Amino acid sequence: MKMKPELLIFDLDDTLYPPESGLWHAIGDRINLYIQRRLGLTLAEAVALRDQMYHQYGTTLRGLQLHYRISPEDYLAFVHDVPLNRYLKPDPPLRKILTSLPLRKVIFTNGDRAHANRVLNALQLDGCFEDIIDILDIAPYCKPMPQSFQLALEKAGVQDFSRCVLFEDSNRNISSARTLGLFTVLVGKNGGPSEAHLQIPTIHEVISLFTPAFCLSNRSKK
Ligand SMILES: [Mg+2]
């Protein structure tokens, strides 16, 4: 990477841990159950509605808020109520990598802060990020809406979007961020076409973007 980044922005789910963990799938099951119970639908109807909301509004939550006046707090607490330690293990190598990077780092998630904190604790990455920007912070928007990135970067106090690096597993979020001028890195083994500047198979490869000299020379300026 030629520029010196001002801020590293990390998506949470399926980015800081791999999709194979099954956690996101478990959250998806809770979303289906929430819709079924709340709106009195069959599983098939709930899945179809969820799919439609996700594609039309960016997240199921935003669609449910608009059409059914769902409380975001109620929804977020229910869908994230899964036993995290069944899916996630501590990741000391990632902790070492993140702490070796002398740059500002934040989480930016379409989930909520409570879930993000629980995930970071389960991965033992607590303290590796200076802030968590969540879906409540960027209301009424959500990723991939451009306004969500603008609000998030404003919250992080960043002026120059081109000096921000986004790590994300979602192609549509990558695409939106790139349009706004961010440097984008797709995380995961997603084989399809991507608009990302770079692709890395797992988040651990973040270290490959920075030279050892960079990590050492900038350490004192942290
Ligand atoms: Mg994700």
Distance 113 CA to ligand 1 centre (A): 14
For residues 210 and 190, which has the higher predicted lDDT (pLDDT)?
A: 210
More confident residue, 220 or 127: 127
Distance 195 CA to ligand 1 centre (A): 16
CA of 94 to the centre of ligand 1 (A): 17
pLDDT bin (cut points 50, 70, 90) of residue 73 is very high
The CA 169 to ligand 1 mean position distance, Å, reads: 5
Tell me the two tokens of residue 177.
């961020």
Question: What is the spatial distance between Cα 5 and Cα 3, in angstroms, rounded to a whole number?
Answer: 6
CB 59 within 8 A of CB 70: no
Cα(221) to ligand 1 centroid in Å equals 31
Say what the pLDDT of residue 218 is.
53
User: What does the CA dihedral 171, 88, 130, 115 come to, rounded to 10 degrees?
Assistant: 80
Cα 28 to Cα 33: distance, rounded to the nearest angstrom: 9
Cα of 173 vs centre of ligand 1, distance in Å, is 9
Collect all residues with Cβ–Cβ distance below 8 Å to 191 and sequence separation of at least 6: none
Give the pLDDT mean for 52-63.
Answer: 95
Question: What domains can be seen in the chain, in order of their start residue?
Answer: 7-18+90-221 (3.40.50.1000), 23-79 (1.10.150.450)
pLDDT at 193: 78
| 199 CA → ligand 1 middle, Å | 14
* Cross-strand pairs, 184: 166
